[in-house]
Amino acid sequence: MFTLIHTRADGTRIIRLDPEKRVLFLTKDLEKIRAQLRGELDLRMSDVDPEDLLDDINTDVMTPAWVCFRHKPEDIALDAYAGLVDDDGQRVFGTRALVDGGFQVIVSGQRKGTGSSRETAPQAEKWSGIELVIASSFAPIHERNNINLGQLMADHAVLERLQSGEEIPLEEFTSRYDPVTRAILEAGGLFAFAKAYAAGKVGVTQPTTPERAMTMGEKLIASHLVDVENGFVAPGDPCLVNVDGGYSHEFTTAQVHHFLASEYGADYAVKNPSKFAVFEDHLLYATGVKKMAPFVDQIQTLRDMQNEFRRHTGVRDYSAENGVSPGICHQVAREEFIDPGEFVQATDSHTCMGGGNNALAYGVGATEYAGLIYSGFTFVRVPESIRFELQGSLPAGCTAKDVMLEILRTFAVREDTLDRVMEFGGPGLASLDMDERATLCNMATECTAKTGICEGDRLAAEWIAARRPGKSVAEVEAAFVAPDDGAHYDGGVHQVDLSSIRPMVAKPGDPTYGTTVQELGDVAIDIAYAGSCTAGKERDLDFYARVLQDAVDSGRGVADGVQMFIQFGSRSVREYARGKGYLELFERAGVTVIEPGCGACIGCGPGVSETADQVTVSAINRNFSGRSGPGKLYLASPLTVAASAVEGRIASFEPGMFRAPVTT
């Protein structure tokens, strides 16, 4: 099946295109893609302007949620790119289109693989016969997933050389990486490398970087080096790093279990199971969504396999009880077990939310997670950092979500944050409570960053200690990691004046399509969704209640023709809302309240649009086409979502805005 890599008589391994196989160009002109799939058009890189290639192809496009209900890669590949649709909502790739197309190479533009950490996306390409992925740049988790699968990546210039008939040494594809990453790629993937490492055929030399000032991310990695005490690291250093903990959920655990059993046998065991957990949070409400009805059996298989994995390994259990989830994994993890100074990895891109607790946390694919939960350590290439110094405080009507939408439309869109640790500090951080700090870190993944991390302070220590029985504030403070004076930031140090932030909105299609609510113009809505890991926290519930209380006091509620949904991030958030009297307030305002879970954020619960002409304003973190139904999806802050639900159009919140004007 795979014919890209050849070995010459002298032992040199070279890359040569198979003349019997094809190259697929993902162009902005979707009809050209269809023509290639039908076999009516073959293109060459020399004839294609990179500007005409699709940018920001996200993993939801490559494998929509319903495709991820399958856990075997060969089955996932059957519907590769099922999420790429035209303006009429029609699929560009039919079932088996990529599998049957005879393609060896796939080509796109900037930031390939943004969005979710789902490894199903590169799996869909690999098991369709793709051996070389060409793009201008790659989102970091997606690039790592390709590496772990042994998928080679390169830029457009390399493809032009290959199409001209040139044979290129394999090392040219791998030389830009550190020695370990090169070894993983040249071995054919992470599992093959792990077996060679266990057999002593390959080794990993830990960094010998001399003493230097380090950023928070660098210090956290340095403190977790395998068999090294008091080490120092610098960006680019390859390291083996101990993992403090992690988790998976029913969308991903089945693959982890499948891979471990396939690689290590049915009686495999994992290291330190008490440090790892499984959550049932993503698919609880999926069967209530009309378009998910055909997948009930597949969803149940995922649940069954997670339960089998849990029983087999003895990991911590956060399964639903009587149909009610303990909460979204990222929210529960920060509430219950992610502590300052820890290194945490999980099978979801929003794992970075744990950075609000002054931890280093980020998402990985199923292959990488299987490897680290089996061994207790993982491979890390030390990322660069970018620092945001927060100054002042936010004006009324703005939240941390607005800060992130502003950062997305400025720093992220020009790739300043790409694959970097986003560090948040400065005096303005003290004006944001812990839930707002979690929002900053949660949306680092939307910035295609490695992760986000906030500095610790007294407020953080008190919040964490209150949720850790037997742990004092002083003990929490002692674990905080702060940047060293003189630490170097490859992405620079940037001042963010919180007082200058205005209510923001991201237009449909991508979180980077930001503008102010004032500049947006008049946009009527059908749905207002308030929830998700980003916006289902206690402080978010305060925001919703603040707006809806103003509305109810003015004799108003959710506008006619609009549905508003509020979904809790965890059981503790639900009980917080109950104690505050918010449930009665929401009922009076005409809001539909939903038990904890992910739900509409991934198109698997109440609040999804059902038709293409519906408009949703949502407090979730990403708005890729089709992610939360076929309609148009705008992102906004909790305050803006609630105000919009009352107004019936996208509107920012101002105290007293719902009162009838005084006439004389």
Q: What was the pLDDT predicted at 8?
A: 92
User: Are the C-beta atoms of residues 252 and 366 closer than 8 Å to each other?
Assistant: yes
Beta bridge partners of 390: 496
Q: What was the pLDDT predicted at 661?
A: 65
Q: What was the pLDDT predicted at 528?
A: 98
| pLDDT above 70 (res 643) | yes
* Domain residue ranges in the chain: 5-198, 242-380, 387-456+472-500, 504-647
| pLDDT above 60 (res 200) | yes
| pLDDT above 80 (res 570) | yes
Q: What was the pLDDT predicted at 663?
A: 54
| pLDDT above 70 (res 450) | yes
How large a percentage of the chain has pLDDT more than 70? 99
Position 245 confidence tier, pLDDT thresholds 50, 70, 90:
very high
Position 1 confidence tier, pLDDT thresholds 50, 70, 90:
low
| pLDDT above 80 (res 2) | no
* Mean pLDDT calculated for residue range 160-165: 96
- Main-chain dihedrals φ then ψ at residue 526, nearest 5 degrees: -110, -30
Q: What was the pLDDT predicted at 146?
A: 96
Q: What was the pLDDT predicted at 196?
A: 87
CA-to-CA separations, 535 to 68, 93, 94, 197, 432, in angstroms, rounded: 24, 34, 35, 42, 15
For the CA atoms of 546, 548, 549, 553, the dihedral, rounded to the nearest 10 degrees, stands at 140
Q: What was the pLDDT predicted at 254?
A: 96
CA distance 242 to 376: 6
* Mean pLDDT calculated for residue range 153-158: 97
State pLDDT tens for residues 286-306. 877 777 888 889 999 999 999
* Mean pLDDT calculated for residue range 525-543: 97
Q: What was the pLDDT predicted at 358?
A: 98
- Class for the domain spanning 5-198: alpha beta
* Mean pLDDT calculated for residue range 387-391: 98
Q: How many CA atoms lie within 13 A of 424 on its CB side?
A: 37
CA distance 645 to 601: 17
Spell out the SS3 assignment of 54-75.
CCCCEHHHHCCCCHHHCCCHHH
Q: What was the pLDDT predicted at 496?
A: 98
Beta bridge partners of 423: 387, 453
Q: What was the pLDDT predicted at 115?
A: 83
Per the model's pLDDT, the better-predicted residue between 625 and 24 turns out to be: 24
Q: Would the CATH topology of 242-380 be identical to that of 504-647?
A: yes
Q: What is the mean pLDDT of the chain?
A: 95
State pLDDT tens for residues 40-50. 999 999 999 99
CA distance 514 to 535: 18
* Mean pLDDT calculated for residue range 396-406: 97
CA distance 173 to 13: 11
What CATH number does the domain located at 504-647 have? Answer: 3.30.499.10
Do the bridges between strand 13-15 and strand 168-169 make them parallel or antiparallel, or are there none, so unpaired?
antiparallel
Position 394 confidence tier, pLDDT thresholds 50, 70, 90:
very high
State pLDDT tens for residues 92-134. 999 999 999 999 999 999 999 998 778 999 999 999 999 999 9
Q: CA nearest 614: which of 548, 517, 523, 512?
A: 523
CA distance 364 to 377: 13
| pLDDT above 80 (res 226) | yes
Query: To which CATH superfamily is domain 387-456+472-500 assigned?
Result: Aconitase, Domain 2 (3.40.1060.10)
State pLDDT tens for residues 344-382. 999 999 999 999 999 999 999 999 999 999 999 999 999
CA distance 233 to 225: 9
CA distance 54 to 503: 30
Query: To which CATH superfamily is domain 242-380 assigned?
Result: Aconitase, domain 3 (3.30.499.10)
